[in-house]
Amino acid sequence: MNEILTVAPKEPTIPRNDDVRRGIIRLEHQINEYKAEHGLPDPDLPLWHAFAPGAYARTIFIPAGTLVVGKIHKHAHLNILIRGRVSVA
Residue spans per domain, the chain: 7-89
CA distance 55 to 77: 11
58: nearest Cα among 74, 45, 75, 44? 45
Based on the number of CB atoms within 10 Å of its own CB, is 79 exposed (0-12), middle (13-18) or buried (19 or more)? exposed
| pTM: predicted TM-score of the whole model, two decimal places | 0.62
Cα(85)–Cα(82) distance, rounded to whole angstroms?
Answer: 9
How far apart CA 78 and CA 82 sit, in angstroms, is 13
pLDDT at 31: 93
Pairwise CA distance, residues 17 & 67, whole Å: 21
pLDDT digits (tens, 9 = 90+) for 7-42: 776 766 667 788 888 998 999 999 999 999 999 999
Tell me: the pLDDT tens digits for 40-78?
999 999 999 999 998 888 899 998 888 888 877 777 778
pLDDT at 51: 94
> Does 82 score more than 90 pLDDT?
no
